[in-house]
Amino acid sequence: MFVDLFHTKKLRLAFVYILFLMLVLFLQDTVLARMTVFGVKMMFIPAAIAAVGVHEGGFRGGLFGLLAGFLCDMTFTENTVLFTLLFPAIGFAAGMAADFMMNRSYIAYLFTAAACIVVTGCIQMIRVLVLQPSAVFYCLLIVVAQMLVSMPMAAVLYFPVEQIASRFEA
Amino acid sequence: MKNYLKKYGIKLLAVVLVVALVTLVVASSGDGKAGVVEDTAGAVRSPFQKVAQALVSRVESFYGYLFDYEMLMQENENLRAQIADLEQQVRENEQAKIENEELREALNLQQKRSDFVMESAKIVSWNASNWASTFTISKGQESGIEIGDSVVTSYGVLVGTVSELGSNWATVDTVVDIGTSIGVLVGTEETSAMLLGDYTLMNSHYMKVSFVAESGQAITGDTVVTSGAGGRYPQGLLIGTVTSVHTEAAGQNEYAVVEPFTDLNALTQIFVIKDFEVIE
């Protein structure tokens, strides 16, 4: 039959991850957009990408990152293609790290997520440094602060991805 | 049976009649005031009556609880719905009142600056990033808005510039964004200067004024307005006040920290200046 032509399980997995991404973007862009901790806003989308990379491997992590990056570039108006390029790399690197260097444990994920948020912050600050090179130390401070305030949310994101991955495991 | 009735019945009837007669006589003897017997009877009866009344009340309320419960529940539900409606109305009225005030102020601004062609819009969302200060508004190209248009509050305070445009949305870079660079006049002497976004001040919603004129100087409390030079911004738009004056790290130039007149966090409605008269 027509349905047999498709990998329905893979399609369902993709659909669930798209829903998960929409939820994360909604939280990042609307609910928590105005919420600041010590004047710093959360940036936990890289952690969501890291979670997918850690549980699903580099390829799927990269695909998830690509979609997340594309949507983020439409949301974060200060960039044009920054996230579309950066997030697939983050997803792929997180998957690779989980496959070859680290394991898929919660602690390993937290380190990966923190690294992804820091890398994202460092890339984001380039625009500011181009306009104001003297603000480098302040920018680095914001990168660290951004990572710290995002970690509680990052810590939560591991669990839904773990659930999705284990439910669709072959 | 007949014997029993004869023996006790007649006696009982006699006693009852006597008591009734006495009671009748005592009751009708005074001028409305209770007699000794009646008073005593009343005194004795009163506590029992109270207890009885209390019991009856309880029973009645229990009865009411049982049989009127459904009715009361329905009534309660209706009242709750009414309260919710009224609360909604109050909220809407409050919102309408605020909007009305802002539109009135905008009308005042329009009367003061008849050369302004303005478009009102609402702020839809704020940028979730730590690296830029921007917000999205509810109107865009279809409303005649263009990139570079100034965005002001109803009081004519400059809050930003349109930087990106969609058909029915636009992104506005606020005045505290790092990309800001506006020619301004400072203080009563109207010293020419440049208003610049500074990243170290951006998150606390402050800006920086660097002086172009060598004789330039600022004092805390000075007002900063747009100079209108270059024709990009209308002349005389309010921006903020000088809160402190510092010396640059190199030690040669001074700069002033400026606090915007408007609280950016509290902004909900803005006005885009689509056209204005350039004063040379």
CA separation for the pair B264, B204 (Å, rounded):
10
- Whether residue B210 lies within 8 A of chain A, CB to CB, comes out as no
- Whether residue B66 lies within 8 A of chain A, CB to CB, comes out as no
CB contact under 8 A, A131 and B204: no
pLDDT number for residue A49: 94
Highest mean pLDDT among A47-51, A82-86, B209-213: A47-51
Q: What percent of chain A has pLDDT over 90?
A: 45
Average pLDDT, chain B: 79
Chain A residue with CA closest to B203: the answer is: A39
CA separation for the pair A48, A50 (Å, rounded):
5
Q: Give the B window 137-196 contacts with A, CB below 8 Å.
A: 163-164, 171, 178-179
User: Is-contact B157 B175, C-beta < 8 A?
Assistant: no
Q: What percent of chain B has pLDDT over 70?
A: 73
pLDDT band at A52 (very low <50, low <70, confident <90, very high): very high
Q: Which of A39, A76, A127 sits opposite B127 (nearest CB)?
A: A76
CB contact under 8 A, B127 and A138: no
Amino acid occupying residue B269? Q
**Of residues A76 and A86, which shows the higher confidence score?**
A86
- Whether residue B204 lies within 8 A of chain A, CB to CB, comes out as yes
pLDDT number for residue B26: 53
Which region among A50-59, B8-17, B156-165, B172-181 has the lowest average model confidence (pLDDT)?
B8-17
CB contact under 8 A, B199 and A131: yes
- Which pLDDT tens digit goes with each residue over B170-192? 999 999 999 888 999 888 878 88
Burial class (CB in 10 A: 0-12, 13-18, 19+), B264: middle
Chain A nearest C-alpha distance from B255 (Å): 15
- Which pLDDT tens digit goes with each residue over B198-208? 998 988 889 99
CB contact under 8 A, A78 and B136: no
For chain A, the structural domain boundaries read 2-167
pLDDT of A20 strictly over 70: yes
CB contact under 8 A, B199 and A128: yes
For A35, A63, A123, B132, B171, the CA distances from B126, given in Å and listed in that order, are 11, 28, 21, 10, 9
Across A149-161, average pLDDT: 92
pLDDT of A60 strictly over 80: yes
Chain B residue with CA closest to A141: the answer is: B200
CB contact under 8 A, B136 and A77: yes
CA separation for the pair B74, B30 (Å, rounded):
54
CA separation for the pair A153, A143 (Å, rounded):
16
Give the mutation candidate from B194, B199, B202, B263 for the A interface (greatest A CB count, under 10 A): B199
Which region among A31-35, B34-38, B72-76 has the lowest average model confidence (pLDDT)?
B34-38
Q: Which of A29, A34, A78 sits opposite B131 (nearest CB)?
A: A78
User: Is-contact B216 B243, C-beta < 8 A?
Assistant: no
CATH 1.10.1760 fits A2-167, yes or no: yes
Under CATH, which architecture does the B117-275 domain have? Beta Barrel (2.40)
| B contacts of A34 (beta carbons < 8 Å) | 126, 265
**Of residues A104 and B238, which shows the higher confidence score?**
B238
Kindly report the CA angle at A71 between A69 and A77, in degrees rounded to 5?
95
pLDDT number for residue A156: 92
Amino acid occupying residue A144? V
* Tokens 């710093």 -> residue: A40
* Tokens 């009127």 -> residue: B68
pLDDT band at A26 (very low <50, low <70, confident <90, very high): confident
Q: Which of A29, A121, A124 sits opposite B125 (nearest CB)?
A: A29
A127 alpha carbon, distance to own chain's centre: 20
Give the mutation candidate from A30, A45, A131 for the B interface (greatest B CB count, under 10 A): A131
- Whether residue B134 lies within 8 A of chain A, CB to CB, comes out as yes
pLDDT number for residue A45: 93
pLDDT band at B16 (very low <50, low <70, confident <90, very high): low
Helix (H) / strand (E) containing B238: strand B238-247
> What residues have CB less than 8 Å from A51, skipping those under 6 apart?
A109, A113, A157, A158, A161, A162
CA-nearest of A88, A63, A74 to A28 is: A74
**Of residues B106 and B222, which shows the higher confidence score?**
B222
Q: What is residue B180's three-state secondary structure?
A: coil
User: Is-contact B273 B152, C-beta < 8 A?
Assistant: yes
pLDDT number for residue B216: 67
- Which pLDDT tens digit goes with each residue over B214-271? 666 788 888 899 988 878 888 888 899 999 988 877 767 788 999 998 888 888 889 9
Residues from A in contact with B at Cβ < 8 Å: 28-30, 32-34, 36, 39-41, 43, 75-78, 121, 124-125, 127-128, 131-132, 134-135, 138-139, 142, 146
Chain B nearest C-alpha distance from A76 (Å): 6
CB contact under 8 A, A76 and B132: yes
- Which pLDDT tens digit goes with each residue over A4-14? 667 777 888 88
Across A99-105, average pLDDT: 82
User: Is-contact A47 A113, C-beta < 8 A?
Assistant: yes
pLDDT number for residue B37: 52
CA separation for the pair B178, B237 (Å, rounded):
20
Which region among A119-133, B70-84, B178-192, B208-222 has the lowest average model confidence (pLDDT)?
B208-222
For A27, A75, B218, B264, the CA distances from A78, given in Å and listed in that order, are 19, 9, 32, 18
- Which pLDDT tens digit goes with each residue over B34-73? 555 545 645 655 565 566 667 666 766 666 666 677 788 8
